[in-house]
Amino acid sequence: MTGLTYGTYVTQIATLAVVPVDDPNYVSIIPSMIDYAELRMQRDIDFLNTSATLPFTNNAGSYELLLTPEYPFVVIENIGYLDPDTGYTKQLTPTTKEFIYAVYPNGSSLGVPKYFAPFNDNLMIIAPAPPNVTNNFVVTGTQRFPTLSALNTTTFISQYLPDVFIMASMIYISAYQRNFGKLNDDPQMAITYESQYQALLKGAVIEEARKKFEASAWTSQSPPLAATPTR
């Protein structure tokens, strides 16, 4: 598998878009084009490789778990409480902050935490409030991939999904070249790249589902073409 580096990516897009690779106008939009393609792909594909687990703490009697120093996750997947009495990590059940406020008003009930709810992007509500001086939690969630750049010359996306990456980038540069609507010089240009992106996206989504055993019948198998009933 060849994949793309920053240099080959820039050259390939310039070739497909028929622009000089050193054109200052083209060079100026490269960061925005990469942002568009990478962010779109990461919203369309639930990548297994973006999951990460980080430790956090809160104080005794507090039902607030602040994810500091800065919010590291795009989506919270689960929160575990490290129970000092048993040494085990207990997974908390996600719920709503309204439920927690109604059942555990003002954090007045102390005990082993059972529930969590997002209050905002960097604050989780925990209930019951843990009683220990310092309470340890592990938070698992998705993060953004590092972006492709002249300093970061290869990424997961550029190496493993170069075809989808190119198509997503070409949609952006089609708009830059004003070939995005029916009144322009090449009205089918953006539509064609969008169609190719959507076709390639289907395979990438299935592949990620297989990695997580979320494919056919919750296995790592590809969707069957003829098996009845399905796996």
| Burial (Cβ within 10 Å: 0-12, 13-18, ≥19) of residue 102 | exposed
Q: What pLDDT is recorded for position 221?
A: 83
The CB-side HSE value for 67 (13 A sphere, CA atoms) comes to 23
Q: What pLDDT is recorded for position 231?
A: 54
* Average pLDDT per 10 consecutive residues for the chain, totaling 231 residues: 90 92 92 96 94 88 82 88 89 94 79 92 90 88 94 96 96 75 51 87 91 84 68 54
Phi, psi of 59 (to 5 degrees): -95, 165
- Average predicted confidence (pLDDT) for the chain: 87
Global pTM value? 0.83
Q: What pLDDT digit, counting tens, does each position of 72-87 carry?
A: 799 999 999 998 888 8
Q: What pLDDT is recorded for position 115?
A: 95
Phi, psi of 85 (to 5 degrees): -75, -35
Q: Where are the domains of the chain?
A: 6-47+145-218, 51-142
Edge-first strand listing for the sheet containing 64-66: 64-66, 123-127, 115-120, 93-94
